[in-house]
Chains A and B, each alone.
Chain A
Amino acid sequence: MPEKKFKYLSKEWADEVGKRCKKTLTPEKMKNITSSMLTVYTKCPDGKTRAVYYKFTKGVVENVSIVEGTLPKAEFSITADYELFARISRAELKARSALMSGKMLLRGNLVKALTLSPTVDRLNEVIATVPTEY
Chain B
Amino acid sequence: MPKKKLAKADPYFIDNPKRVKAVQKEMAKKGIDVYLGSRLRTMSWILDAFCPWRTYVVIPPEGLPTAVTFVIDAARVADESWLDQDHIIGYGPMGGQDQVALLSMLIKPYLKAGKGVVGMETGMGNYLPEGHLTLFEFVMLKAALPRATFKNAHDIIDRLSLIKDEGTINRFREASRIVDVGHKAVYDAIRDGGFRKMTETEVGGLAAYAMRKAGSEWEWSFTGGNEIASGYRSGLAAGACTPASRRKLKAGDPLMVDLHAMFKLGLGDHSHNYFLGKATKRQLWHAKNFVDLMKQVLITYRAGISPTSLADEMLAFAEEKGFQDYLVPGFEHGIGLMGDEWRIGLNDGPFQYWTNPEHVYKKNEMLICAVQYACPEEDIGFRYENPILIKEKNCEAMSRFPLSVNVV
Interface residues, chain A, with chain B CB atoms under 8 Å away: 79-80, 98-107, 109-112, 114
Contacts and interface: CB of A to CB of B under 8 A. Distances in A.
A62 B86 CA distance: 24
Contacts of B94: 99-100, 102, 104, 106, 110
B170 interface: no
Interface string B252-289: 00000000000000000000000000000000000000
Given A99-B94, A110-B74, A114-B71, 9 more contacts: A100-B94, A102-B95, A106-B97, A109-B90, A110-B92, A111-B74, A111-B78, A111-B89, A111-B90
Given A109-B90, A111-B89, A111-B90, A104 B74 contact: no
Nearest to B102: A110
A107 B101 CA distance: 10
B88 to A, nearest CB: 8
B75 A111 contact: yes
6 nearest CB pairs, A to B: A105-B96, A105-B95, A99-B94, A110-B90, A102-B95, A111-B90
A114 B92 CA distance: 11
B95 A110 contact: no
Task: Categorize the interface residue count of chain B.
Answer: 10 to 19
Contacts of B96: 79, 105-107
20 contacts: A80-B95, A99-B94, A102-B94, A102-B95, A102-B98, A103-B95, A104-B94, A105-B95, A105-B101, A106-B94, A106-B95, A106-B97, A107-B105, A109-B86, A109-B90, A110-B74, A110-B92, A110-B97, A111-B78, A114-B90
Interface of B: 71, 74-75, 78, 85-86, 89-98, 101, 105
A100 B86 CA distance: 23
Contacts of B74: 110-111
B405 to A, nearest CB: 51
A104 B98 CA distance: 12
Nearest to A96: B94
Contact of B71 (A98, A103, A107, A110): A110
B93 A100 contact: yes
A109 B96 CA distance: 11
B19 to A, nearest CB: 24
B55 to A, nearest CB: 14
A81 B90 CA distance: 25
B95 A111 contact: no
A109 B94 CA distance: 12
Contacts of B71: 110-111, 114
A104 to B, nearest CB: 5
Contacts of B91: 110
A112 B78 CA distance: 12
Contacts of A109: 85-86, 89-90
